[in-house]
Structure 1
């Protein structure tokens, strides 16, 4: 076998460009060239026997891993697959999502695709491992930042974590952590234990609805509401263990709350899976709360409803050590209509009031008041009462109360009323058409019809 001497060779391998240096040592390219060159590698090439189907080459990294590269190309399918992976898409989250949402999404998907619950699905194990790989990167701020900057293709998929230029550590594409170990490490015994509820890790304030009248919402009120809330267990006082018993030191971590996990060539210190970092375990959980330290309890809470709340508006208020959301449902009023901080109502007046003017008593939000009706007022005339509206929640002052005038036309008249109206009609000069009971003669004079 004749040795093939390579004095200088440039190749593209796993998304990173390498340059062959003297004596067969591949050195990282200068910083001005494409990124991705973070490791030293040894290049060995040999010419295969002529009957062996062409030439072959072998690569060897600084970690001692060797790979036979046949003939004319390099196999980079693993890297191509990694380059296409979108860890955010795998976990079903947006790129700007918070860490707690990443953890929550991972847990939900990991439960869904766990091999133990999908024994008939051959792809479940692969999906479960893919979720672990995505979470391992996105849950670590440093790895996530590097992933956001370079993507999967920017990582070295072949040589693992190592020192790059400037001593920077680079993440290796492809997780080395056992997916099941990662699942248990993060969530401890939540996936199998009855002591506690995983949902408490993502405990969101409970939402309740409160019915309010229009006046209560406009003026504000202190109103009671009966709630069922998870609160400190009264039997164990929130400790979780049965009264009279003691917690035992965790034998997994020897009471330190941390354990060591061997993941291939790496050793990782993490929160103890057995005690979830507490250092102790309970062998006698409370018979009332079953170890969670909380029970569902009925409480009567007085809610200080602020003046000016609107239908569908939600407020957040503390109840003991908890917080709750309260959404208001405001009933419609038979008297008032609302437009922002302004209140509208109708005032029905008689024909005589409309013609001659007068006064009328109006019911407001806070009290009743008297208004003056101008003579000759027209239907739908609007009278503004400044400052008689609703308190402005997000600013100062109050809105206005607008009174819409409605003229009530009588459906029946007495004989005297009818005679007076006919007499009035005789004096009208701007009538278009005719008036029942009054007509014009051929000479243009009015006459009483029969």
Structure 2
């Protein structure tokens, strides 16, 4: 049966806006019980819901003004509709503390918001009330209410749910904060309160360090969330001017005796949750916990020899924090475990005649001796000059990879000297540009010609040097 048929059944004799609630009962009964048209027309059943009136002037139902006062409790607390009870309670904590009259004296809007937040939590914090609210009080389109084509009865009246709180907001606030607990049976496992910095202390952080810092070790200052003593109550857990009182339920022992038939068992006190004291006026800042989440500067010791991606565990106040290090790559050093590798360039003269070079190390600079005839890519090992191994006093080695730097441009003197030297080489594979000579060794009957050739070479060297 649609809403048009219902309208036809409501005569001017039986309808009045003041009896809207009775008509709603009738409409709900019709659609929930699937009554037939003939049953609906039964006068006794109809009069059970509405009473005759002499006046008649209305023929339609309007509920838009009624719905305009409807509140979205999820929106008030700022939580999604699938939020858990823990998330709802956390949201209430934050908002109640923010809009509490004690922290917003002289601001009437804050007091109104505090009342609104308390009302929202009173409904959503109770699973039974929340279920009813989700069924009948969820937000919808008020234009779908009543009138022709208004849909089914359930659709029409799911938005017509309302709730009037009878609990004082301040009383609810104190009650919830007292239920925050100080032991294992509390609604939250943590023994600290959330703050504007987050819902808990940092558990894992990533720290970027340079290659040299990773090699030598350093103390790194970081800003992160830590759990520390409440700055307002100084750990007393009470509002300023109040003190905790000894629990009368357990006489300050934290334990109570429970009778189980013929047996007597001891368990944690249900009144004080084992804390031995009762706090009637808990600190608003820390919710009576004595500690809060705070944003502080913490010095993290970076051990020498730490590797990229390596994680260590440190203790910050009472919490463990896992620190993962991101080591930047070096343009000079290359790492292989605890060993390091660097490149060093030498000239042709140093490669031929030998010499020494200065090499930058992890901890100090080193003088490296170059032996005569050193070829390119020769590796020179500097023992115990590498990286320190974490949690050990052992050191790796520093390997210097020699590279011979060949000049791209020669002066005329340099070119003449190189050509003179090339004429003396006996093991040159192939040929040399702009140079012609015989590679056959001198024979016994060529002594004079060899002497003449040597004189020619020295003449060229002398000419190259003196011009």
TM-score by length of 2: 0.48
Higher helix share: 2
Higher strand share: 1
Quick check: which has more Rg, 1 or 2? Answer: 2
TM-score by length of 1: 0.49
